[in-house]
Amino acid sequence: MNRYQPKKKTAPVKAIREMCIECMGGRNNKGYKELIENCVSPECSLFSFRFGTNPYRSKPILSSKEREARSDRAQSNFSTVNFT
């Protein structure tokens, strides 16, 4: 695989995404995103991870109160950052 040197990624799902890009001809291939989306190899063990996310990891379901509390906490943390 000399035609494309994949980017160094620390997250395994991102490395899988890079593998899928390489499998479909690399980043130089126009339309590689569509090729990955329409991949015809469902028997591939990486098929479920081809979009660079873990399909088995569920997002936390937050109530509106929890969402507001997290938003307030993030805003207060952001306002204390000194950009000078």
- Closest by Cα among 8, 21, 76, 69 to 49: 21
User: Which of 46-53's residues contact partners 24+ apart within 8 Å by CB, and which partners?
Assistant: 46/16, 46/19, 46/20, 49/13, 49/16, 49/17, 50/16, 50/17, 50/20, 51/17, 52/13, 52/14, 52/16, 52/17, 53/13
Structure tokens at 2: 């000399």
What is the three-class DSSP state of 39?
coil
pLDDT reported for residue 61: 86
Residue 63: which pLDDT band, with cuts at 50, 70 and 90? very high
pLDDT, tens digit, for every residue of 16-56? 888 888 888 888 888 888 888 888 888 998 888 888 888 88
pTM for this entry? 0.55
The domain ranges of the chain are 1-56
> Please, which residues have CB within 8 angstroms of residue 7's CB and are 6 or more apart in sequence?
18
pLDDT reported for residue 76: 85
Q: Which residue has the higher pLDDT, 3 or 72?
A: 72
